[in-house]
Structures are given as structure tokens and as C-alpha cells.
Structure 1
Amino acid sequence: MANETRRYDGQCHCGAVRFSAEADLAQVISCNCSICSKHGLLLTFVPAERFTLAAGEDALKDYRFNTMRIRHRFCGSCGVETFGEGSMPDGTPVRAVNVRCLDGVDVASLSPAPFDGRSS
């Protein structure tokens, strides 16, 4: 997939949580940390201002572990982690979007870069 930032819509499995994000899917990672590997997450990171939660704030639950810096957000009904909230090293708010939740994206066409989150 060519380097191109565009708007994507996404949702959890049951549709209670819906969002949009402006993302470049040439920038996708496959992290090997314990939660990402167990969930099979493919992630792309977007500045918070390029992410909009369209529906489902009341359906979202949070999970934090290890350093407690990342707020893993998942649907309380279907359990799908749609995105996470955190910040870059400089403090800039960022969203880690689960690419598998983006509508119309063929994840087999992506080339995720490995990320060693297990050692972080």
C-alpha cells in the first residue's frame, strides 16, 4: 500500500463503538508484547486530533497493565479492542488504532513492521 494518509471508518464487532481516523496504512506495526500478540493486533498510530470517536463512549471499557501508560479501550459488549490511548515520548497525545477494525481494509495486503514491545 502506498504512503497515503486518508480517512478510514472503523468499528468493533457488534458496532457499538464506531470511530474514524486519518491514517497512513504504510505505517502499520505488529507488536510482540503480551497483549498485542494475544489479541493479534495490527496497529497504526495517529495524532489524537486525527481520531474521532463517533459512537460508543459509554460502551468502552479500559485496561491498563505494566507501565499503565497506555489506555487499551475495548467494547464492553463484544470485547474487541478498537484503539488505545497514550502519548508519544514528547507528550503528544496519540491513538493506537487496531487496523483490523477498519472497514474495507484487506490486512493481507499490508506489510506490518515488527515491533519488539516485549523488550520495552
Structure 2
Amino acid sequence: MDKNQTEFEGSCHCGAVQFRVTLSGGLATARRCDCSYCRMRGAVVVTATQDNFRIVAGEHALTLYQFNTHTAKHYFCGTCGIYTHHRRRSNPDQLGVNAACLAGVSPFDFAEVPVNDGVNHPSDRKGTAGNPLSGVLRFIPSTDA
């Protein structure tokens, strides 16, 4: 895996939703979040701007989910249910893109993934300092093969 690669094609599981994306900082932007929604979703996300993300097929298949402040917009395929991307609450000009939807990328390619403190979201802290990270998620492959 080349963490500096920035251009990808991606899709949901069934292929109904297909997209092209140029990542802002390559795969090095990989992270997770521990807010209530992201804990359940469990996706590793990478960063892109809205201008660098283009749906090439299946926009009609996307379903939108919003909660709490309704600032973040979470999109998933209405056919297979796979989360593809979301507009961020912390920076609505940015998208979080599901790394597992990118061609040739698996969330298990990342040995360590920083976990953002979404429980204490930066937008809720009103300028207070605090650690934006709540931890690091590690994947250690089994040696029993």
C-alpha cells in the first residue's frame, strides 16, 4: 500500500454507487472516530474535499443519514447498505471517504489508525483545548496461518 497515493476509484459492495476521488493527503489521513455513530459503523476514513470527489454512477442509489446537529451528512448505498462517504461536521468542506470502498485498499492495510475524540466533538468544545485523539486502533495480523 502506497500511503502517498491520492487518486482512487471506489464503489460500494454491490457496485451500484461508483466514484472517483483525489485524497487531500493520501492514505496517510486514515482515521476513525469514537462518536456514537462511527463506533457502530466502524469504518476507517480518509480525507478529500468536496471538489475532489465525484460520483460517476449510482447517485440515485445513495441514501442520506443525519443526526444530532444535521451538519454531517452520511451517505450509504440504499441497495447493499455500505457507507461510502460523509460530509464532516468538524469541517463541512471536507469529506470522510470509507477507505474500504477504495479499489485495492483494505482497512486491514493500516497497522495503526488514530481515533478522533468524537464523543467530545471539537465543535462542542467552544474553543477549549483538549486532545483531539482518544486513542489508536492497531491491527496485528495473526501468525497462525
Which TM-score applies when normalising by structure 1?
0.88
Q: Which amino acid aligns with 1:58?
A: H
Q: Which amino acid aligns with 2:76?
A: F
Which residues of structure 1 form unaligned runs of 5+?
none
Residues 59-116 of structure 1: per-residue CA shift (max 9 Å, x gap): 0110000111011011111111100124654x6x222101111111132232321111
CA change 1:50–1:75 in 2 (3 A) is: same
Residue in structure 1 matched with residue 102 of structure 2 by the alignment: 102
Larger Rg, first or second structure (1 or 2): 2
Distance apart, 1:6 and its partner CA: 1.8
- Write the distance in 2 (CA, Å) between the matches of 1:30 and 1:86: 12
- Write the distance in 2 (CA, Å) between the matches of 1:114 and 1:32: 7
Which TM-score applies when normalising by structure 2?
0.74
Residues matched between the structures, number: 118
TM superposition outliers: structure 1 runs of 4+ over 6 Å? none
Which residues of structure 2 form unaligned runs of 5+?
122-145
Contact 2:99 2:106 in 1 (8 A): no
Q: Which amino acid aligns with 2:48?
A: V
- Write the distance in 1 (CA, Å) between the matches of 2:13 and 2:2: 27
- Write the distance in 2 (CA, Å) between the matches of 1:113 and 1:95: 17
CA change 1:86–1:32 in 2 (3 A) is: closer
RMSD: 1.8
1:1-120 mapped onto 2 (5 Å cutoff): 4-23=4-23, 24-86=26-88, 89=91, 93-110=93-110, 111-120=112-121
Distance apart, 1:40 and its partner CA: 1.1
Higher strand share: 1
Q: Which has the higher contact order (CA 8 A, sep 6+)?
A: 1
